[in-house]
Structure 1
Amino acid sequence: MPTDTPPPAPQPVFVLVRPQMGENIGAAARAMLNFGLSRMRMVEPRDGWPNPRAVATASGAAARVLDHAGVFATLPQAVADCAFVFATTARGRDLTKPVMTPERAMEHARALVAAGRRVAVIFGPERAGLENEDVARANAIISVPVNPEFPSLNLAQAVLLCAYEWGRQAADVAPEVLALAGTDLARAIEIEKLGDHFEERLEAAGFFFPPAKAEGMKLNLRNLWSRMPLTRADVQTLHGMLRQILRRRDG
């Protein structure tokens, strides 16, 4: 039957291994959906499934992540169809594996998914994290560079970090933008005229003294205006200030 719902975009599967609290499962679902992820699997959730506390914490749209979550008896079953598995852990392991930051791991995951391979990211239970037996089944480790004196992350926090890196690398978002609040940046001609106005008023006030330094002082002022991201509203305000000062002086 035709449907208006587009198929989900290729993405990794997030696997919660022996999660303990329903609230954390729900919070993990919210973190996933924040960044466009919807494929969750669970291994032996402590309090069984479905879990009303998880649904209540997920609240709203994120509940659909839980509606379609798969529940498995063992980790090997949960990742059986995956070609590459990442294990998230903060503790040192006596295992020889690549250790990646969340940023690098999700970059690698994107390349694998783009090549048609299914990727899983596994997260351990809240009390102690993944066991060595769990990590041994992973191809690589994700380790977050946290405070070594307090390395423990909440389950939902760990999910959020990985989901954020996945979503960030997909979005074409500038690292910094200027919110203009309904105005536009001033054009070069407007900045030029503002500089002229200031020079005129400052000249009349005797600011450019001694004469030998006047040109250098004017140059510094022009450089000042060019460094400032002035909006058209800013320019109009500064012109208005100069006019009002002149009116008060002449009044």
Structure 2
Amino acid sequence: MKSLYEATVSETDDEGRLIAEMFMQLPDKTNIEYYALIKDPIDFLIIGDRVEDGYYKSVLEFEKDLNLLVKNAKAFNDPNSQIYEDAVTIRTLFKEKMNEMEKSKHPELMGTKSSARLKHRKSWGRASERIHERNIKQEQEDKHELHEVSIINCHEDDYQGLFYNEIVNYRNNIGHTIADPFCRLPNKRFYPTYYEEIDNPISLKMIRKKLQAKKYDSCHELAKDFELLFSNAMKFNVANSLIHKDAVTL
């Protein structure tokens, strides 16, 4: 079953974009609209952890969770959106991979172990060795906590705070915030190459701390840190990845 999971989450489109990227982690808990609509939230990291733990007793149980993931994405997102299209593609890919393995009588469908590893790709939201560490719950709690403090309470004349909030609160054309991937730095354990390529790592959390400590003498200085944050993301992530595009937008 592990090979089936890995084959599904590591698939890319014709441009090399990881199709499962937006399904690796659930939206932040502060996204009230999402959790009001979606009663059974699930992401690929949760599914991967269940695969590791032997939670699924059959491929049908595995398929049930994947169908739930696809159903949730289609229920919440506009039919014309990329994530809706990706959800449909993931469902098709899964069926294709499953059929291929059934035809070859792949032992993974019987629940045996495999030494296959997930492919590492340049995107913070991609599949990674996190699924082998069983720390998904803690990471989601950390992400939730970070997002709760990511908005600066400021007065109308606090231009730096207002500037910061404009970035954090920015929403795309379907009403979703896009700043979440920039809230904190990539985990050094899972993305060591990031710290080899990026000389001056910075995150929204770090910028917020500097704001609170009144480290910026002007909005211009604050803007320079934002430029550094987004240029780092554009340097590390491939041009057709969602995080690269969001960095350009912000």
- Range of TM-score over shorter length: under 0.3
Looking at CA atoms only, which structure, 1 or 2, has the larger radius of gyration? 1
Q: Which of the pair is proportionally richer in strand?
A: 1
TM-score under structure 1 length normalisation: 0.24
Q: Which of the pair is proportionally richer in helix?
A: 2
TM-score under structure 2 length normalisation: 0.24
